[in-house]
Amino acid sequence: MTVIEFELHGVVDAPIDAVFARLAHVEGYNDWMPRKGSIFRTTEQTSPGEPQLGTTYVDRTAAGAAPGEIVAFEPPTRLVYHWWQLARDGRITAEGWPGYELEAASDRITLVRHGARVEVHGIRRLMTPAYRWLAKRERAATLEALQAAFRRAG
C-alpha cells in the first residue's frame, strides 16, 4: 500500500455553520461542484435522513462509481468522508479520506483546512504519481468551487 497525504488552505466568505452545512449536504455537491476541471459527475446519498456520522453515498466520477460514508461529523468544525474503489473481484484498489477542519475567523469568514489521505493498493501502486496529481487537482477544485458557491450566493 502507498499513502498520499496533503493539505490545502482557503478562506470562505460565509459563517462557519453555513460552510459546514454546505460541505455536509451530500447531494448538494451536485449544485456547486464544477463540471470542468474535476472528475466529479454526481453524488447520491444512499442512506436515509439528514447527513450524520455513518451516512453513506455513491460518487459517480469520470473514473467510475465510488461508494463512501461520513466517518467524522463534528458540527461546525470537522467533517471527514471515506470513499473507496473496488476491483471486479471486490478488493479495494484505492481509498481516500477527504476532510475539512473549519475555524471561524469572524462572524462572516471561515478558514478551511482541507486535507486528504489516499491509499493506493496492489498493482495500482504503480499509478501513485497519477493518483497524487489527480487527488491534489480534485481537492483544489473542490475548495475553489466551495469559495465560488458562496461568492455567487452573496
Give this prediction's pTM.
0.94
- Helix-helix angle 128-153:16-24, to 10 degrees: 130
CATH of the domain at 105: 3.30.530.20
pLDDT in tens, 94-147: 999 999 999 999 999 999 999 999 999 988 888 888 889 999 999 999 999 999
Residues 6+ apart with CB under 8 A from 21: 76
- C-alpha count within 13 angstroms, C-beta hemisphere, residue 39: 16
- Which pLDDT score, from 0 to 100, does residue 47 have? 98
C-alpha cell at 134: 489527480
Region of poorest pLDDT, from 30-34, 36-40, 68-72, 88-92: 36-40
Q: Across all residues in the chain, what is the average pLDDT?
A: 94
Number of domains in the chain: 1
CA-to-CA distance for 106 and 58, rounded, in angstroms? Answer: 34
DSSP conformation class of 77: T
Boundaries of domain holding 91: 2-153
Q: Are 22 and 32 in contact (CB under 8 A)?
A: yes
- C-alpha count within 13 angstroms, C-beta hemisphere, residue 101: 6
